[in-house]
Structure 1
C-alpha cells in the first residue's frame, strides 16, 4: 500500500467554531478572502440590501423576487460586481432556507 501522507496538504481546517476536514478532491483550495476582485464592503452592502428587500415582502413575493432575479444572469458590464455578488448571495441563501 502506498503512503499518501505527503501528497496532500493538511486536511483539517481549524476555525473558531471547530475543526472541518476537507476531502482531498477540494484542492486546490480557493479562498474568497484572496479574491482580489471582491470588495468585501460592497459585497456586504449588497447582501444587506437584498436581505432588507426580502424582509419587506410577504414570503411568497420574496421567493418570487429571489427566484426571478437569480433566473437572469448578472449584467456582464456591471460596474459594481462585488455589490451584485453580495445581493445575489443573499437571494440564493433566502431560497435555500425557504425550501424553494
Structure 2
C-alpha cells in the first residue's frame, strides 16, 4: 500500500492506493502516514470489511444504500471492537460509496 501526502498533486492526503484500488481513509481514523506501520491494521480483515460493505450496499436500491451508509457513518465506531480492522474496512467502504457515488 502507498499513502499519498497532500503535496502529491494527483491524490488527496487521505487516499491510500492498494492493489485492490484506492481507499479513502476517514479523516477521524488513526494518523496513517505509512500504512505499513499501522500495527493494529490487519490488511486482509480490512479488505474483507471493505468488500462486505460493498456487497451489503449492492443488495439495496441506491437511495436505501446511501441512507444506510450515512446512518452508519453518523455514529462513531465502537470503542471496544474485537475486529477493528474489519470495522475500519467496512466504514471505509461506506465512506467511499457516499463520497464517490452519484446522488
Query: Alignment RMSD, CA only?
Result: 2.5
Question: What is aligned with 1:57?
Answer: 60
Q: Higher helix proportion, which one? A: 1
Consecutive aligned runs of 4 or more in structure 1 exceeding 2 Å deviation = 20-24
Q: For residues 32 and 21 of structure 1, do their structure 2 counterparts lie closer, same or farther at Cα, with a shift above 3 Å needed?
A: closer
Please tell me whether residue 70 in structure 1 is matched to residue 61 in structure 2: no
Residue 42, structure 1, aligned to residue 26, structure 2: no
Deviation at 1:78, TM superposition (A): 0.5
Q: Distance in 1 between matches of 2:80 and 2:71?
A: 20
* Post-superposition offset of 1:97: 1.1
Question: Residue 7 of structure 2: which of 19, 23, 40 is its match?
Answer: 23
Q: TM-score scaled to structure 2, two decimals?
A: 0.68
- Alignment partner of 1:90 is 2:74: no
Q: Which has the larger radius of gyration?
A: 1
